[in-house]
Amino acid sequence: MSASQQTTHAEPARGLMERWLPAVAAIAFLIAFPFVADGYLLHVANISLIFILLAIGQNIITGYTGMLSLGHAAFYGVGAYTSALLTLRLGVSWPVAFLASGVVASIVGMLIALPCLRVRTDFLSLITIAFAQMFFVVANGWMGLTRGPMGLTGIPRISIGSWVAHNDISYYAVFACIVVVIYVAVQRILNSSIGRAWEMVRDDEVGALSLGVDVTYYKVLSFGVGTFLAGLAGSMFAHYIRFLSPDAFLLLESLIIMQMAILGGLASLPGSVLGAVLLISIPEALRSSEPLLITYRPGLAGALLVAMMIWRPQGILGRTRATPPIVRQISDTLRRLVGARPVANP
């Protein structure tokens, strides 16, 4: 959130209590969760944590910098395969492979995006879809490396030194720590001059240029950070599910990640968390009872996207002056619950 927005929205001064309460509550919830949840819920939580990273990455690119990337799942896939292959073939330890997967995904992402971001950012959507298709063709066709559609099996569990994550609770602990660290780090970046530059590029590119903001640099940086997070999430996924096949990283998956970022609110970090949790847990809850709903999920999600763009482009947690009072009350309550600040209307 830029400084100007904080002043224009005239937020009441926030006391120490108000400021730290949401964070403390969130941490307390994360710690208490495994004690009350059963195995299945824990699994859903682990998947949600992975997707929270993906949604945050997408939100940095789309919500904060205003670039439409439709290949997030492919960068997630690049990370997953990097990490799996490094540990399987070269015997690299997991923490190294984890960081390497983020770095590789980010480098690939920046190389893909560079020609496009230099001249026509709108076409990033096309380039990223094309990259996703190419990723699928390569992952599916390069039998020697990826074993193609048969998939990679026997990927080792997450291990740090001699400690091995042997059950869902240990995975949960690792994932929760990663997500908390990343969340705080991203929030710091967004509150810094980098975050303000991103939002300026989104809101007025020519204006940003005229004030000496290196627009291309910040766009590429944003894309690099977003894909870095996708790569990390890929590594988490690979060592959690321990089986990789190329069809886990299709365009549909990218669209779901996009929906998470939009549903919770573009340019809202708590929104990304909420969006990821909702879009993972709702289908899980419905899976057994409503097969039709799953079949037509893309169509329903599409209708939701159109409706959100028309009536609520700022997502569930955002708010504008034009918001009807009842919606404002609900969203204010929600915002207070998760400790969000006012959100820019993207």
Tell whether residue 272 is a contact of other proteins (CB under 8 A): no
Among 50, 78, 258, 269, binds other proteins (CB under 8 A): 258
For position 92 contacting other proteins by CB under 8 A, the verdict is no
**By CB under 8 A, what part of segment 142-201 binds other proteins?**
none
Stretch touching other proteins by CB under 8 A, among 163-171, 183-191, 218-226, 304-312:
304-312
Q: How far is the CB of 309 from other proteins (least distance, A)?
A: 4
Instruction: List the structure tokens of 2.
Output: 């830029």
Q: Which of 84, 127, 233, 269 binds other proteins (CB under 8 A)?
A: 127
Q: Are strands 163-164 and 159-160 parallel, antiparallel or unpaired?
A: antiparallel
Enumerate the β-bridge partners of residue 160.
Answer: 163
Least CB distance from residue 339 to other proteins, whole Å?
A: 26
Phi, psi of 323 (to 5 degrees): -70, 135
Burial 244-266 (b: 16+ CB within 10 A, else e): bbbebbbbebbbbbbbbbbbbbb
Q: In 10 A of CB 176, how many CB atoms?
A: 19
Total residues contacting other proteins (rule CB under 8 A)? 46
Determine if 278 is a binding residue for other proteins (CB under 8 A): no
* Paired tokens of 184: 């705080």
Using the rule CB under 8 A, which residue among 306, 321, 324, 326 binds other proteins? 306
The Cα–Cα gap between 157 and 164 comes to 7
| Span interacting with other proteins, options 5-13, 97-105, 205-213, 332-340, rule CB under 8 A | 205-213
CB of 61 to other proteins, least distance (A): 10
Closest approach of Cβ 73 to other proteins, in Å?
A: 14
Q: Which two tokens stand for residue 49?
A: 């944590």
205 is an interface residue for other proteins by CB under 8 A: yes
Per-residue contact flags (x/-) with other proteins for residues 213 to 252, judged by CB under 8 A: --------------------------------------x-
Residue 298 interacts with other proteins (CB under 8 A): yes or no: yes
CA pseudo-torsion sign 31, 37, 40, 45: negative
* Residue of 207, 214, 291, 329 interacting with other proteins (CB under 8 A): 207
Question: Does 67 participate in binding other proteins (rule CB under 8 A)?
Answer: yes
Q: What is the DSSP string of 244-312?
A: E-GGGGSHHHHHHHHHHHHHH-TT-HHHHHHHHHHHHHHHHHHTTT-HHHHHTHHHHHHHHHHHHHHH-
The separation between CA 37 and the C-alpha centre of its own chain, rounded to angstroms, equals 24
**What is the per-residue binding string for other proteins in 2-41, x denoting contact by CB under 8 A?**
----------------------------------------
Task: Tell me which of 133, 187, 245, 323 binds other proteins, using CB under 8 A.
Answer: 133
Answer yes or no: are the C-beta atoms of 277 and 324 closer than 8 Å. Answer: no
Select from 50-58, 65-73, 102-110, 147-155 the region that touches other proteins (CB under 8 A).
65-73
- With CB under 8 A as the contact rule, the residue among 26, 68, 169, 241 that binds other proteins is 68
Q: Which two tokens stand for residue 293?
A: 């709903």
User: Is residue 116 involved in binding other proteins (CB under 8 A)?
Assistant: yes
Helix axes 94-119, 215-241, angle to 10 degrees: 150
Whether residue 94 contacts residue 115, with contact meaning beta carbons closer than 8 Å, is answered with no
* Sequence-ordered strand ranges (E) for the chain: 152-153, 159-160, 163-164, 243-244
Q: 327: burial class by Cβ within 10 Å (0-12, 13-18, 19+)?
A: middle
Among 37, 305, 330, 337, binds other proteins (CB under 8 A): 305
Give residues in contact with other proteins (CB under 8 A).
62, 66-68, 70, 115-116, 118-120, 122-123, 125-127, 129-130, 133-134, 141, 202-207, 251, 255, 258, 262, 266, 296, 298-307, 309-310, 313, 346
